[in-house]
């Protein structure tokens, strides 16, 4: 077989970028000399993360539609037109055997151009509620890899393959005991531990709830790893300096997420698809606080898919200020509930996602 060329497009958030990188790594493991090119959106997170992982990326000037100020969309349409032209040039220069879309702004123009040129396309939809871009691309895609049941609502059923979401492999490989993992954070190895994680940029509601409830957390029989994200670091540091809670470790980033997960009896998180897939694979009891600032409110739908199977607790963003801290203090001390949530979320895990997706990619290239 000749050297294969794979184009992977999408991004915008870690929830799109981490699965994309996992797929790229899976293809490289299978075909060492495979040539992989990423296409992302200019000024978005992928332009930094993808090169850091050792892959080449080209940025398109594409951006999302402004639903609040329709006049601003003239610029959006202009950027879309430029992106479509650049997408054609990229295809002409790179000549991929397949184009993979992981969602996010860039995947729309890039996969549309590939489909027009007759290049096979594969879509990876992470959420339980399909994004607009993927719905538009579905009709002409050869395969649609999903992580939830019931996706026939959005996509042609004959194209759907239930693979689950690829996650960062490092997260699954932790060999530490929970006690040793807690020691890594300078925590008491024998005490119940809550991991609060707001993503790389942070989650305002979650951080504000922890700040306002810091005295109650300090007085509770538990300890906490509080990952604030870079936007809320200074605010959180100021609160920590003033209150000095001995049972909270605060950090903008958690570099060793595998150790943080291993240390935790309970995780408080947004309800992004990648985060949920990680929690499922690790069997972690969780309180999910869906972000209201995402397209089609898909995080609430992701969370409800777990709540319906008694696999997680959901606290809405609107209710969080009154409920979140009380809920986490109460839940972390309830061993039976933690065990039940852990067992139920674990049953929802879809394993070997990358292998299943790469199998399909290879099959389509072989055709």
d(CA 209, CA 216): 11
Q: Kindly tell me if the per-residue pLDDT of 56 is higher than 70.
A: yes
Residue 202 has a pLDDT of: 61
Average pLDDT rounded to a whole number, residues 176-193? 96
Of 187, 194, 224, residue with least CA distance to 284: 194
Q: Give pLDDT tens digits for 270-317.
A: 998 889 999 999 999 999 999 887 777 889 989 999 999 999 999 999
d(CA 35, CA 93): 13
Q: Tell me the pLDDT band of 1, cut-offs 50, 70 and 90.
A: low
Tokens standing for residue 338: 């933690």
**Residue 14 marked as a ligand binder:** yes
Residue 168 has a pLDDT of: 81
**Residue 165 marked as a ligand binder:** no
What's the predicted TM-score (pTM) here?
Answer: 0.84
Q: Tell me the pLDDT band of 199, cut-offs 50, 70 and 90.
A: low
**Residue 200 marked as a ligand binder:** yes
Report the greatest alpha carbon distance in the chain. Answer: 64
d(CA 144, CA 135): 10
**Residue 118 marked as a ligand binder:** no
**Residue 150 marked as a ligand binder:** no
């Amino acid at each position: 077989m000749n050297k294969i060329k794979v184009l992977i497009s999408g991004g915008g958030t870690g929830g799109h970028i981490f699965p994309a990188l996992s797929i790229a790594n899976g293809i490289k493991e299978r075909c060492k000399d495979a040539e992989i090119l990423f296409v992302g959106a200019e000024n978005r997170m992928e332009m930094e993360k993808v090169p850091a992982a050792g892959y080449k990326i080209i940025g398109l000037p594409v951006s999302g539609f402004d639903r609040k100020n329709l006049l601003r969309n003239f610029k959006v349409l202009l950027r879309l037109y430029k992106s479509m032209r650049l997408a054609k040039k990229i295809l002409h220069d790179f000549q991929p055997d397949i184009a993979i879309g992981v969602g996010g702004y860039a995947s729309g123009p890039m996969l549309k151009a590939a489909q027009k040129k007759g290049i096979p396309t594969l879509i990876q939809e992470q959420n339980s509620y399909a994004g607009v871009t993927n719905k538009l691309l579905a009709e002409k895609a050869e395969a649609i890899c999903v992580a939830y049941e019931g996706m026939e609502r959005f996509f042609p059923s004959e194209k759907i393959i239930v693979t689950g979401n690829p996650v960062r492999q490092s997260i699954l490989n932790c060999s530490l005991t929970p006690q040793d993992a807690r020691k890594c954070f300078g925590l008491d190895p024998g005490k119940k531990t809550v991991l609060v994680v707001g993503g790389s940029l942070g989650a305002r509601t979650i951080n504000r709830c922890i700040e306002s409830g810091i005295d109650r957390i300090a007085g509770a029989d538990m300890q906490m790893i509080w990952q604030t994200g870079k936007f809320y670091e200074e605010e959180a540091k100021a609160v920590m300096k003033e209150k000095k809670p001995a049972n909270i470790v605060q950090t903008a980033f958690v570099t060793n997420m595998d150790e943080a997960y291993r240390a935790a009896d309970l995780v408080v998180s947004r309800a992004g698809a990648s985060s949920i897939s990680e929690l499922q694979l690790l069997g972690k009891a969780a309180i999910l606080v869906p972000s209201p600032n995402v397209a089609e409110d898909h995080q609430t739908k992701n969370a409800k898919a777990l709540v319906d199977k008694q696999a997680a607790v959901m606290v809405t963003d609107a209710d969080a200020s009154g409920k979140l801290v009380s809920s986490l203090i109460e839940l972390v001390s309830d061993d039976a509930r933690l065990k039940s949530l852990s067992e139920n979320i674990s049953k929802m895990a879809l394993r070997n996602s990358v292998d299943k997706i790469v199998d399909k990619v290879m099959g389509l290239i072989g055709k």
